[in-house]
Amino acid sequence: MLTKMDKPNAPNAGGQIVDEQLRPLIESEKLLLKQLHELAIAGGHTEDARRLSDILAGVDELFLLVIVGEFNAGKSSFINALFGHKTRVEGPVPVDDRITIMRYGEQTEDQTISAFVTESRAPIEFLRDIAIVDTPGTNSVIRQHQEITEDFIPRADLVLFITSIDRPLTESERQFLSYIQHWGKKIVIVLNKIDTKDDAEIAEVTQFVDDKCRELLGFKPLIFPVAAKLALSAKLGSHPRDWSRSRFEALEDYIFHTLSEGERLRLKLLSPLDSANTVADKLSAEYGSKLELLADDSTKIARIEDQLQTARTEMQSNFQKFILQVDGHVIELRDRGIDFLDRHMRVRHLNLLRSESQFREAFEREVLAAWQRELDQTLNESVDWLVRNNMRLWNDTLEYFNTQVRKTEYDSQVVGRVGGQFVYEREEVHARIRREAEARVSSLDHREECRRVINSALGALQQSFGLGAGAVGLGYVLATIFTTVALDVTGIAAATVLFAASFFILPYKRRRATEEFRAKTEALRGELRRAFETESNREIDRAVDNVRGALEPYTRFVRGERAKIEERSSILVNTRERLLVLKREIESVVAADSKASMRS
């Protein structure tokens, strides 16, 4: 970086101080460009990363003066006039589709740098301090010409924009000037071909360009009206009057004198920072868009979680009606059983009391038969309700996910702002969740789910009452429990009861049997309620957890992306702050150097 242009006009102590001050600033500039380069790569911005690489490489290059303009605006004529001889081919049709970088060389020679870049060396003195870039014409019928030129703008330290006085500041030129501004470049406008107009017309067009730049682009331009072909003719020996008519001297004076080493140094150091700021602005806007989208995703995650919690509470609350129905069945059975004991534990039924099998048959016929069918129906309805609500929870959540979480029209809006791998990965997560959720819903076997829930409740009840696992059906289990209770409390299996004693024993037995039957029925009622509450809550929790588990890839993606982008955003904020500080430091050092040079 410390080339001739960086050094003071005359060696002095102040110049050495400037050099020492510049070195850490230049290194800081390189470091910040590298950080932005890494962020661009991490975000999949290959074009911006490539441009930052080019800008970084250009920090140690000579001052880069880039000449742009529309086809047939006179760029080649202008360069030939600047050099004083015909080095660039002129023509009425597009003749060049390459970037040409002109540098100083002891001999004239051309070298191909890449598919679209040629380096041309010539023994022209001012090329020792300035490299000039000739670009293909913009707004050419060959679209690639403009693309090549646009790609080189971020590297420029100063842009000379050539426009013809015949058609000044066309809409396409305004757009291209806006693009140059977008990269923060200093622009000098060269109004060419003024030899075709009189002085009044030249003044009028110059004022028009000045007004439009202020009005449409927001900057006051530095404008040089020139006649490039007249200037070249004068340098090649034509009439001396052609030189004054060309007005080329004012432009040369700006390039070779006003654009002093100090000014070139300032532009050279600040230009990479301006380009870096453009990339940083782009990344910042992208991070903002991504975080906005992810915040919306996070809100929807929270909303889904709230909906799942609400669904759990509602399902648990609504299932209580079935628990109350089963509870009512048990109360009904309790009352039937007590009535049965009261009617049959009497002397006139001694034959029935002496036969355990007859007693059981009578109990099952009069007490359990109709009740067992009603109970089984209620139980099947309750489990059917659980399975249907489970499926509804899946379908409702999936519908919400498809219509609210992943909105096609919203994605189409953010793709342009966000784009890249982020949108692709987000869409992949959405698609995978939809496939998995739909597969789970379609694989639910209604009958199997009913059987599983009933068996779970049955197992809990059997375990509570110490019954074996051989019983099938909850109604059968309850019938077994009730008949066993009834037989236990009557003592029928004991020896024959004397008829005379029966008048004294049976009332006591009947009262004791009724009390114990009531107590054991109440115990069974509590156990049955707990069993069905536990199993229904477990089933509801399982349904909710399954839905939440299916959405986990989505929530995990959102959490991971948000953390990653927030980290990159934090790095970017820090980088932008340091870019601003570095810009102020460079302005301060260069200003001090300019004052020192003026004093010397």
Q: DSSP for 378-426, please give it.
A: HHHHHHHHHHHHHHHHHHHHHHHIIIIIS-HHHHHHHHHHT-HHHHHHH
Can you tell me whether residue 249 is helix, strand or coil? helix
Q: What percent of the chain has pLDDT over 90?
A: 27
Q: What is the pLDDT of residue 410?
A: 43
Query: What whole-number distance in Å separates Cα of residue 333 and Cα of residue 528?
Result: 13
Which of 131, 64, 79 lies closest to 251 in space, CA to CA?
79
Q: What is the pLDDT of residue 248?
A: 95
Give the lowest-confidence range in 147-161, 269-283, 421-435, 570-584.
421-435
Instruction: Please check whether residue 116 is in contact with residue 98, taking contact to mean a CB–CB distance below 8 angstroms.
Output: yes
Give the distance, in angstroms, between the CA of residue 168 and the centroid of all CA atoms in the same chain: 43
Q: What is the mean pLDDT of the chain?
A: 78
* pLDDT, tens only, 378-403: 877 887 888 788 888 888 887 787 77
| Contacts of residue 279, Cβ cutoff 8 Å, sequence gap at least 6 | 36, 40, 45, 48, 51, 52
Higher pLDDT, 14 or 426: 426
92 pLDDT higher than 70: no
Average pLDDT over residues 449-470: 53
Band the pLDDT of 193: cuts 50, 70, 90: very high
Band the pLDDT of 240: cuts 50, 70, 90: confident
Band the pLDDT of 484: cuts 50, 70, 90: low
Output the pTM of the full model.
Answer: 0.70
* pLDDT, tens only, 270-314: 999 999 999 999 999 989 988 888 888 888 888 889 999 999 999
Q: Which residues of 124-154 are buried (b: 16+ CB within 10 A; e: fewer)?
A: beebebbbbbbbbbbbbeeeebbebbbbbbb
Instruction: Please check whether residue 379 is in contact with residue 474, taking contact to mean a CB–CB distance below 8 angstroms.
Output: yes
Give the lowest-confidence range in 30-44, 248-262, 354-368, 535-549.
354-368
Give CATH for domain 63-259: 3.40.50.300
| Contacts of residue 451, Cβ cutoff 8 Å, sequence gap at least 6 | none
Q: What is the pLDDT of residue 446?
A: 46
- Helix and strand numbers (H, E) in the chain are 18, 8
Query: What whole-number distance in Å separates Cα of residue 228 and Cα of residue 78?
Result: 5
174 pLDDT higher than 60: yes
Q: What is the pLDDT of residue 53?
A: 93
Sorted by where each begins, the domain ranges of the chain are 63-259, 287-579
Give the DSSP letter of residue 469.
Answer: T
Higher pLDDT, 491 or 12: 491
Torsion over CA of 107, 113, 117 and 118, rounded to 10 degrees? Answer: 20
